[in-house]
């Protein structure tokens, strides 16, 4: 045991530390693309299988992009809006007699005022025909900042400047044509640079994998037909995609938006069996790339919804919707009238004492006045009757006297 440790210690002391590379430098070979170069170390044993290990650090955060290569250069993307450090060292692969050299590094510092670079850059490759990129201005950028977009990919001799700009609700955008041969199976990365002519505005770079940005066009000419109890749906495929590189979703419902069903198909047609002949069915279609063709998970927009059949239950439902409220309203009116009458019978209204007193005293006054009038009238009548009686008595007296004389 002690013997093994001594051997290990002697071996480690005998191991030599390799000298580092020298003259590390960089140069732009295209927008957002750097070529890092260095010279090999001196006094390296011929038995050493010399390779170089390189890595990238962005704002003190390692990017886990370490590579080993025998070449004395490395091409990388750059970001420009953050500090970028590139480091490299010498290694003897498959040789334990020498240790790797120390890291040699150089930095690419950002230019411009912090917070002025464009943010939230997003790009979509529409139907393999054109790309739309959008971004927002930096929080410290002035309102008159005029961002310009440049793009380049392997195959273009020089970088291109985007010229079709737009602005909507504070979001800037630019559209440029982008297409590759249909027969190709690999697509180069798109390098995008957004900057302003002013040196105060910090530029920003981004590298986009176009296969992850593919968005198909909306399926066109959706046609519906019905044979017996089966509905057939058919549409046209995009001409810009290779054959069998799209998969579709068909969404349909029978008048009830809460019961929408979605089916996936790989062809440009499908059928829905056993449909209700008394129902109206609506359909729409959208497309998405197949994973074996593109890495994108974007869907196209839904096609315009189309319908077939007639909902025979609609008139019945409309009748119910109109009839039920009318029946309820009439029933409520009848019920209210009935309850009002029933309430009067059960709980008659309590008379107001003030009205009772008013009526009582009013009737007494009227009675006293009528009685006074009656007394005056009766007295006058009695006086007339007495005069008549007296007159009668006066006229009858002689008759009585004559009769007595005759008897005598």
Helix (H) or strand (E) holding 344: helix 313-346
* The two structure tokens encoding residue 181: 């041969």
Across 269-308, b (16+ Cβ under 10 Å) vs e yields: ebebeebeeebbbbbbbbbbbeeebbebebebeebeebeb
Residue 355 contacts residue 363 (beta carbons within 8 Å): no
Mean pLDDT, the chain cut into blocks of 10 residues (408 residues total): 38 66 94 94 85 92 89 92 93 80 93 94 96 96 92 92 93 93 81 93 94 96 91 92 93 79 93 86 95 94 90 58 82 76 66 68 55 50 50 42 40
N-term to C-term CA, the chain: 201
Q: What is the pLDDT of residue 275?
A: 85
Instruction: Give me the residue label for tokens 């530029």.
Output: 203
Q: What is the pLDDT of residue 400?
A: 38
Helix (H) or strand (E) holding 236: strand 230-236
- Helix/strand/coil percentages in the chain, nearest 5: 25, 35, 35
pTM (global) more than 0.95: no
Q: What is the pLDDT of residue 116?
A: 95
Give me the numbers of helices (H) and strands (E) for the chain, helices first please. Answer: 3, 26
Measure CA 322 to chain center.
36
Ordered DSSP codes for 143-192: TT---EEEEE-BTBSS-EE--EEEEETTEEEEEEE----TT-S--PPEEE
Residue 161 contacts residue 149 (beta carbons within 8 Å): yes
User: Could you give the dihedral angle defined by the CA atoms of residues 151, 156, 161 and 166, in that order, rounded to the nearest 10 degrees?
Assistant: -60
Using alpha carbons only, what angle is made at residue 295 by residues 289 and 298, rounded to the nearest 5 degrees? 50
64: three-class secondary structure by DSSP: coil
Residue 119 contacts residue 136 (beta carbons within 8 Å): yes
Query: How far is 191 from 304, CA to CA, in rounded Å?
Result: 35
Query: How far is 401 from 194, CA to CA, in rounded Å?
Result: 159
Query: How far is 319 from 89, CA to CA, in rounded Å?
Result: 85
């Amino acid at each position: 045991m002690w013997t093994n440790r001594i051997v290990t210690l002697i071996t480690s002391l005998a191991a030599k530390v390799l000298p580092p590379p020298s003259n590390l430098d960089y140069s732009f070979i295209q927008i957002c693309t750097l070529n890092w170069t260095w010279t090999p170390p001196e006094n390296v044993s011929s038995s050493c299988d010399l390779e170089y290990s390189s890595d990238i650090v962005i704002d003190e955060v390692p990017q886990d992009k370490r590579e080993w290569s025998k070449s004395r250069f490395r091409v990388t993307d750059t970001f420009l809006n953050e500090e970028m450090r590139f480091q490299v060292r010498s290694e003897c692969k498959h040789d334990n007699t020498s240790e790797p050299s120390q890291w040699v590094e150089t930095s690419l510092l950002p230019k411009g005022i912090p917070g002025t670079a464009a943010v939230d850059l997003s790009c979509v490759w529409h139907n393999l025909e054109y790309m739309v990129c959008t971004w927002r201005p930096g929080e410290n950028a002035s309102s008159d900042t005029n961002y310009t977009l440049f793009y380049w990919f392997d195959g273009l001799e020089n970088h291109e400047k985007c010229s079709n700009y737009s602005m909507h609700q504070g979001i800037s955008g630019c559209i440029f044509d982008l297409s590759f041969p249909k027969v190709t199976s690999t697509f180069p990365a798109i390098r995008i640079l957004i900057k302003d002519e002013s040196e105060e505005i910090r530029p920003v770079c981004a590298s986009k994998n176009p296969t992850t940005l593919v968005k198909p066009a909306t399926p066109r000419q959706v046609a519906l037909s019905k044979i017996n109890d089966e509905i057939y749906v058919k549409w046209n495929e995009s001409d810009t995609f290779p054959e069998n590189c799209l998969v579709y979703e068909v969404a349909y419902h029978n008048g009830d938006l809460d019961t929408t069903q979605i089916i996936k198909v790989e062809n440009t047609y499908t059928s829905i069996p056993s449909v209700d002949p008394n129902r109206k069915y609506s359909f729409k279609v959208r497309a998405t790339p197949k994973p074996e063709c593109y890495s994108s998970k974007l869907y196209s927009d839904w096609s315009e919804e189309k319908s077939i059949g007639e909902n025979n239950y609609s008139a019945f439902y409309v009748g119910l919707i109109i009839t039920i409220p009318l029946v309820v309203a009439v029933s409520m009116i009848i019920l209210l009238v009935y309850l009002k009458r029933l309430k009067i019978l059960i709980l008659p209204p309590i008379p107001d004492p003030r009205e009772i007193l008013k009526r009582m005293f009013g009737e007494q006054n009227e009675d006293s006045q009528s009685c006074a009038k009656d007394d005056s009238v009766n007295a006058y009548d009695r006086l007339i009757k007495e005069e008549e009686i007296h007159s009668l008595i006066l006229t009858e007296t002689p008759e009585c006297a004559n009769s007595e004389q005759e008897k005598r």
